[in-house]
Every structure is written in structure tokens, then in C-alpha cells.
Structure 1
Amino acid sequence: MPRKTQKAKLVLSKEQQEDLKKTVQSRKAPIREVQRAHILLRYSEGMPITEIEKMTHVSRPTIYKWMEKSLAMGIEEGLKDKY
């Protein structure tokens, strides 16, 4: 029987949540950063990856890529293109 894998929890401080919300609402931030901020916020709220995928129209592998980067390197680095 297949088992669900558990991804690490993303715990955001109030300040990090506010920063991500500002990025999501920004009209000047690059669209990639806005999408990534949206993904991080939804993931931290406990939304399933499938729902995030439907809501953002971003592929599952891409969502996992940015989640893993954010968990490993921090929220600020998770929004950026460069590794």
C-alpha cells in the first residue's frame, strides 16, 4: 500500500509572513517572486501541494524545488532565482 511522504513543516515568523504577503500584493515585484511567495504562504498554512498546484498553476516538481530551497537556505533565498 502506498504511503504518503511527509515533507518538512515550514514555520514562518509574523515578520516573514508579513514580508511574503507584501510580496504577493506587490505590483513591482517580479512575477516569479510573487508566485514563490504565494507558494510559501500556502504551504506554511498547511495547504496540500495538490491544491497549491491548482491554485498557482505551477507544476508539482517546481513547487517541491522552491519548497526545498526555502527550507534549506531560508525564505529570502527561496524567492530568488540564483542558488
Structure 2
Amino acid sequence: MARTDPQINLRVPAELKKKLEILAIENSRSLNAEVVTRLENSIESGFDSARIPTEELMMELSNRFKGFSLVMMENKDIKKAP
């Protein structure tokens, strides 16, 4: 990347910036190179959460919440799911 490449100003939460700084150090990159690499990877992978089929999302949620108790609400009463 050259200094003549276009620049953008980007506001991010402080915690995200800190995480990116740590990742940049771990990957022996500048903060800028870390952000650019991650953006390029996300674009190249074609990841777009808006285009993930509902079934895949439901499976992912199911996997992430394994072991948690499920609570359902019916008529404003809270009941444990069977």
C-alpha cells in the first residue's frame, strides 16, 4: 500500500480499536494494514449476513445456544419450554 492510496476517516468504538491494535501486533502489521486485510478478507469471502439463508442462521443460533435453557412467553406468562 502506498501513501498515495486514498484515505477514509472511520469512527469505531474504542473497544473495537483496542482489539484491532492487539490483533495488528499479534500479526506483525500496522493498524492500517490489519484493518485493510480484514476488510479485504471479508469482501473476498463473500460474507454478507443479509444473504445467509434463514435455515443456516437458525442452525448457527442453535449451535451457539446449546446448553442454555429456553424460555418461551405465552400470554405474558413466562414458561419453560418442554
TM-score in terms of structure 2 length: 0.32
**Bigger strand fraction:** 2
TM-score in terms of structure 1 length: 0.32
**Bigger helix fraction:** 1
Structure possessing the higher radius of gyration over alpha carbons:
2
